[in-house]
Amino acid sequence: MQSGSGAPSADGIWHSLRLLSHPGAEALDVLDDGVIVVQDGSVAWTGLGSDLPSRYAALPRHDGGGALATPGLVDCHTHLVYGGQRANEFAMRLAGASYEEVARAGGGIVSTVRATRDASEDELFASSARRLQTLLAEGVCAIEVKSGYGLALEHERKQLRVARRLADAFGVTVKTTFLGAHALPPEYTGRSAEYIRMVCEIMLPALAREGLVDAVDVFCEKIAFSLDETEQVFRAAQALGLPVKLHAEQLSDMDGAALAARYGALSCDHIEHLSAKGIEAMRQAGTVAVLLPGAFYTLRDTQVPPISALRQAGVPMAVSTDHNPGTSPALSLLLMVNMACTLFRLTVPEAVAGVTQHAARALGLQHSHGAIIVGQAANFVLWNLQDPAELAYWFGQRPARTIVRQGKIRIIDSTEAS
Ligand code: NIG
Ligand code: FE
């Protein structure tokens, strides 16, 4: 995999594609004889080969050989930057401990906080870069990265700086989310109100000023922060003009989704225990429901998110890895697509839209990512697949043949690359 600026330009006519340019949740409509014209790294034109305007005729040609082509994938919820790993907790849970019990026993998020604080920025960069490369090799072209394992200004800054560095080093769109209200750091035990005040008055304004924050998230849960504390953080975000999102109703119904919707949240994520009231609030606000089957699976959860009610209400559903060392050590977005279908009963078009158009919307990127859009940087994938349903069907495969990310060719299978 080539990173950053060394990769070759994708400029030219990409022809003989079976083109799925706008994956919709209703159906995956493929255009045979599809063409994408890339100029100066951006999509200049897309449509049927027979309609290709003659002004492009002199551009170099890339023969797609009949490959299925889709927009680059978007992983809209990750905790990619952290120190250490938590395989020991996997064993504890296998022996019967719950996520809450592990957290209360001093494991959980706080143990990753220790490892993240101990790591230097360069160490965090190196470990995160390896994980990012795995996701990119599958066709991810945009990714969200949350902080939340530093829980102190200098360490939250370190995480977010690494996220920005990854974007530059790998030529990938990275949206950063400040998750200072992820867990109560040990030095604030019994002083939750004080910690939240510090998050709102010191950490968030400082990091926003440094240009490190694209959105603000909170873990609203009995083992994390209350509804009232969540609202304080949302108010601070609003005052800075930053959009919000929420880890909502994962373990219990906290009424967090309705609150987040009142603040115009981009997304509510997890939502296994989401109520009818929460769904209605999300519908009205246009908030995306982000489904995280990797965490559901790892925690051996049994409470499935209310998929049919979300579908009926017309709430857009996205699917993401929730990559994190505790509840979802997943580095395959396509496996999440498969799990969203198998575990949550999404249809194949819903699951594919969930990692393209709807995932882009969960990051506020719907005008530039998740579809092949004229005027925007070229982000698309040519697959070694016949039928778009295969994106959901296989697991453990790496079916990406050629990846065009930010207008550059990132070759996966060099025997197939043009
Ligand atoms: O999205 N729910 C809270 N945050 C993460 C878990 C983080 C951890 O356990 O380290 C999640 O599942
Ligand atoms: Fe998460």
pLDDT digits (tens, 9 = 90+) for 344-389: 999 999 999 999 999 999 999 999 999 999 999 999 999 999 999 9
**pLDDT tens digits, residue range 107-166?**
899 999 999 999 999 999 999 999 999 999 999 999 999 999 999 999 999 999 999 999
pLDDT band of 417, cuts 50, 70, 90: very low
Average pLDDT, the chain: 96
Q: How far apart are CA 248 and CA 279, in angstroms?
A: 12
Closest ligand 1 atom to residue 221 Cα is 2
Residue 68 pLDDT > 50, yes or no? Answer: yes
> Would the CB of 173 count as within 6 Å of ligand 1?
no
pLDDT at 99 over 90: no
- Phi, psi for residue 13 in degrees, rounded to 5: -100, 115
Max Cα–Cα distance, the chain, nearest Å = 70
CA-nearest residue for atom 9, ligand 1, is 326
For residue 5 the two structure tokens come to: 């600026």
Minimal CA–CA distance to 155: which of 209, 203, 107?
A: 203
Q: Are strands 380-383 and 400-405 parallel, antiparallel or unpaired?
A: antiparallel
Atom of ligand 1 nearest to the CA of 109: 10
Q: What is the pLDDT of residue 5?
A: 65
- Strands of the sheet with 317-319, listed across from one edge: 245-248, 267-270, 288-291, 317-319
pLDDT for 226 beyond 80: yes
Phi/psi at 354 (5° precision): -70, -20
Copy the structure tokens of residue 223.
């083992």
Residue 416 is predicted with a pLDDT of 45
> Would you say the CB of residue 327 lies under 6 angstroms from ligand 1?
yes
Q: How far apart are CA 185 and CA 200, in angstroms?
A: 15
Is 267 touching ligand 1 by the criterion CB < 6 Å?
no
Which residue lies with its CA nearest to atom 1 of ligand 1? 322
C-beta separation of 364 from 385 below 8 A: no
Calculate what percentage of the chain has a pLDDT beyond 90.
93
Cα–Cα distance, 331 to 333 (Å, whole number): 7
Tell me the pLDDT band of 44, cut-offs 50, 70 and 90: very high
- Atom number in ligand 1 closest to CA 82: 10
